[in-house]
Amino acid sequence: MEWQLRVLAAVEAQRDEMLALLQELVRTPSLHPDEADVQAIVERELRSMDLDLDVWDPPDEELRAHPAYVPVELDYRNRPNVVAVSRGTGGGRSLILNGHVDVVPTGTQTAWSFDPWGAEFVDGRVYGRGAADMKGGCVANISALKALMRAGVRLRGDLILESVVDEESGGNGTLACVIRGYRADACNFTEPTGLDKAAVSSRGAQYFRITVPGQEGGTEYKHELVNPIGKAMEVFRAIEEYSIMRESVARHPLYDEYGVTKAPLGICTIRGGEWPSTVPSRCVMEGTIECLPGEDIHVVKEGFKRFLMEWSSKDPWLKHNPPTVEWFGLWFEAAEIDPGHPFVTTMRGVSRELTGRDLRTVGGGGCDLRLPVLYGDTPAMVFGPKGGMIHSTDEYVEFEQVVTCAKVLAVAAARWCGVANE
């Protein structure tokens, strides 16, 4: 198809432009709540094209009233979402390309081999916080849209590009797009899967806090007191055993061959004591519990709480002084689409044609996929350029994969939405 050759050539012609944009995005810190500067760059890029542009701060009150809202401590003033719509001529299917611009903290910067905000291009990789998760994917989205327009390809269906804030804290940026009415016949999130696989599901999750009570007093009385730190360690071991049980019974065909934990549950923080010579009155542990598609996160977490209360009833101290369990902060519902969905089939066909690789459909972790699927009547999948050290030191994205991803997205968008001027 002649239009396809033009589109692929248009992506190739953007290589230097794509690298410059990726480096500019990575060099612009976007730790929440400071996404405004990086969104201004995205807005600038999209305003250079003939698109309907929608820039708005997610509405706090509307978000809080929605059943999928994830509680956060910060509001969304001066934290805009940016959405661009390339209007189709009519008669085609619509598509959303979604990417988030917020990133997680860098940690100790001296542990990095590269400046985490430097966006250094070394041996085909761009290094820096957010390079893979997911500014590389954002560049692929923008470049795919640019390539279609520069190649003169007019689509029958609408192509919608969403650049959202606050994904790392739970997804309220994408939720704001759903609330604003953005719907499509399909959606792709360009999270860093690598170009040989695509996720068609996401796990559910819930943060929890367990407070284990003890008896406060000076260390000289320690043999007469119950130290909650010791008791917390016993609770910790019980939770580890429960997590193994969860692994043995949790089943889903997209996750059964996972090489890592398929249904995570674990304690990740612990705090106990205020003074080196005082036995504390309590010890607090925090962690996360997750569920697979087909499971209800609320049912899973209540089963976990029942286990913990039953286990505690067998302990002489905890029987009369049980730990408390609180659910707080980040939470997800699990979601999935049929691996044989027509958009997945389209993506697989284009990927095989352009890369020579079969695109394996797999199960994914917690992400924004659930929001259009469960609340936006929009089937969604995850496919994006490969990266490494995500959420860690020396994060990077493979630049060649960013380019190839843009090609796959552009061609797949044209085939899915339909070409009006073939």
**Cβ neighbours of 168 (radius 10 Å):** 20
Distance CA 383, CA 70 (A): 24
H/E run at residue 379: none
Distance CA 193, CA 411 (A): 19
Of 216, 150, 200, 165, the C-alpha closest to 11 is: 150
Of the CA atoms within 13 Å of residue 283, those in its CB half-sphere come to 22
DSSP classification of residue 149: H
Distance CA 385, CA 371 (A): 22
Q: Which amino acid is at 153?
A: V
Question: At what angle are helices 2-12 and 136-150 packed, to 10 degrees?
Answer: 130
Token duo for residue 109: 């910067």
Is the distance from CB of 380 to CB of 369 less than 8 angstroms? yes
377 given a catalytic annotation: no
Token duo for residue 297: 């996160």
Q: Which of 35, 45, 162, 167 is catalytic?
A: 167
H/E run at residue 89: none
102 given a catalytic annotation: yes
H/E run at residue 397: strand 396-398
Strand duo 396-398 + 387-388: pairing: antiparallel
Distance CA 357, CA 337 (A): 22
Q: Which of 102, 158, 162, 398 is catalytic?
A: 102
Q: Which amino acid is at 143?
A: S
The residues annotated with a catalytic role in the active site are 102, 167
